[in-house]
Amino acid sequence: MQLSPLTRLLAASLVTAGLVIAPGTAHARGAPGTTVEGPVPGAPPGDPSAPDVADTYPWMATNADLASLGYVEQEFFVSGEASAYSATGERLATGVPYKTRVIVRKPARPHRYNGTVIAEWQNVTAGYDLDALWSTDQITRDGYAWAGISAQRVGVEHLTRWSPARYGDLDVTGGGRFTDDELSYDIYAQVADTLRESSPLGGLRTRTVLGVGASQSAFRMTTYYDAVLPQSEKVFDGYAFVVGPAPARRGPEPIFHVLSETDVRSPVRPPDTDTFRRWEVAGSAHSGWHGQEYRRPILTRDLGEAPTYQCDAPPFSRVPLHHVIATSYDHLVRWTKGRTPPSAPPLQFNPDGTKARDDLGLAKGGIRLSQVEAPTALNTGDNSGETFCFLFGTHVPFDQARLDELYPSRGRYLAAVVKADARNLKQGYLLPADARQNRIDAIHSD
């Protein structure tokens, strides 16, 4: 395509200002020198190996009916130059070129947007990008924008193999110079910085950017916060480190550390401070039923089949950790405006270092959702067996005799659910919409 002299002059001035317009795409503005291409065209999920980009689709495109919820999903490519850092924060190089992707799920209309974007560091433990912290009901209900950022080599290399037409020119290694994710910290921050401006959010006005990561991604973000952030510019207004480590450093930005029962292995904990909260959720698992159920059909579509596991106990706790994560986001936004969130009681341990449990086998202490306080099953954070089984927790439904013993009538059960949720609402550990859904689920349970 031939550009007129006026167009070339305008493009040059925009580049100088850090604003790049790619032909046929939305404009981009963010970290100086970054270029955003997109929305990337695509077709409904079909053949990922299609030879033309327009016939492909994003990896792990959601199967939720976003349109009915007033949301859209779009994918963008972001390129620029990043600095490389060691795990201890040593700057190894500057000006290293990269190109990666960010997938965005956002309100289709500005009035539905609450002004906060949740910028998730995509998890690559399984060998490919996972949007581990996407939760359709909670994020769309509350009007957040969500962005999944591909920052690590394993995830990006999987993308290039999965769909060469769509992702073949992505690279986060500087052409193979940095294969241990030395560029990942700066790439994550730069892509998140583009979200604060107009693109890829398409004109939505953003007031707050939250940096979030789960499990291995929380580990990467911890290194970023402790070692890289002190020598770089601030991007995020607050952080959620979920089912993984949290920073040792205490800075001005508020930090939530949300852990499942699986992740709490010691009674030794850091104290809460003016900028740090640690919440531990009894009965929940590092990777529980909610996330597994959401991802199973998507992985079947994109990989041909979803992973299956033979664990020593029935896997996948059904205690909804995502309810507490959603609450932490709500508190984080308020915290950035000066409203301090509540602390929470820790899980309890026995003198021998094991977790304390009641007569039903349920963990004592911690945040106790109604699925634990009014139980119909044994949900724990523990399991064993092959590969990832130790992360899945257990779910063992009670038999009828046990249910009759606990709840002499159906009314007793419903009252116990409502009482537990009312307490969690008052203490600030649960959002009203999730309490309402718990009550509906209890009414319709068998």
Please report whether residue 96 resides in a domain: yes
Question: Does residue 5 register a pLDDT over 80?
Answer: no
Q: What is the pLDDT of residue 196?
A: 87
Q: What is the pLDDT of residue 49?
A: 83
Better-scored residue on pLDDT, 197 or 341: 341
Q: What is the pLDDT of residue 198?
A: 64
Please report whether residue 276 resides in a domain: no
The model's pLDDT over 57-108, given as tens digits with 9 standing for 90+, comes to: 999 999 999 999 999 999 999 999 999 999 999 999 999 999 999 999 999 9
Please report whether residue 103 resides in a domain: yes
Please report whether residue 79 resides in a domain: yes
Q: What percent of the chain has pLDDT over 90?
A: 88
Question: Does residue 261 register a pLDDT over 90?
Answer: yes
The pLDDT of 143-169, averaged and rounded, is 98
Q: What is the pLDDT of residue 28?
A: 43
Question: Does residue 7 register a pLDDT over 50?
Answer: no
The pLDDT confidence band at residue 48, using thresholds 50, 70 and 90, is confident
Please report whether residue 52 resides in a domain: yes
- Per mean pLDDT, which range of 42-46, 57-61, 79-83, 339-343 is the poorest? 42-46
> 192 and 211 in contact (C-beta within 8 Å)?
yes
Please report whether residue 110 resides in a domain: yes
Q: What is the 3-state secondary structure (H, E, C) of the chain?
A: CCCCHHHHHHHHHHHHCCEEECCCCCEEECCCCCEEECCCCCCCCCCCCCCCHHHCCCCCCCCCCCHHHCEEEEEEEEEEEEEEECCCCCEEEEEEEEEEEEEEEEECCHHHCCCEEEEEECECCCCCCECCCCCHHHHHHCCCEEEEECCCHHHHHHHHHHCHHHHCCCECCCCCCCCCCCCHHHHHHHHHHHHHCCCCCCCCCCCEEEEEEECHHHHHHHHHHHHHHHHCCCCCCEEEEECCCCCCCCCCCCEEEEEEHHHCCCCCCCCCECCEEEEEECCCCCCCHHHHHHHHHHHHHHHCCCCCCCECCCECCCCCHHHHHHHHHHHHHHHCCCCCCCCCCCECECCCCCECECCCCCECECECCHHHHCCCEEEECCCCECHHHHHCCEEEECCHHHHHHHCCCHHHHHHHHHHHHHHHHHHCCCCHHHHHHHHHHHHHCC
Cβ neighbors of 300 (< 8 A, separation 6 or more) are 306
The pLDDT confidence band at residue 301, using thresholds 50, 70 and 90, is very high
Q: What is the pLDDT of residue 31?
A: 62
Better-scored residue on pLDDT, 31 or 381: 381
Long-range CB contacts (within 8 A, 24+) of 173-176:
174/84, 174/93, 174/96, 174/97, 174/98, 175/97
Question: Does residue 39 register a pLDDT over 50?
Answer: yes
As for how many domains the chain has, the answer is 1
Q: What is the pLDDT of residue 131?
A: 96
Question: Does residue 204 register a pLDDT over 80?
Answer: yes
The model's pLDDT over 225-246, given as tens digits with 9 standing for 90+, comes to: 999 999 999 999 999 999 999 9
- Per mean pLDDT, which range of 3-17, 47-61, 290-304, 397-411 is the poorest? 3-17
pTM of the model: 0.92
231, two tokens: 């020598």
Please report whether residue 199 resides in a domain: yes
Please name which of 260, 301, 265 lies closest in space to residue 283, comparing C-alpha atoms: 260
Domain that holds residue 87: 15-253
The pLDDT of 184-206, averaged and rounded, is 90
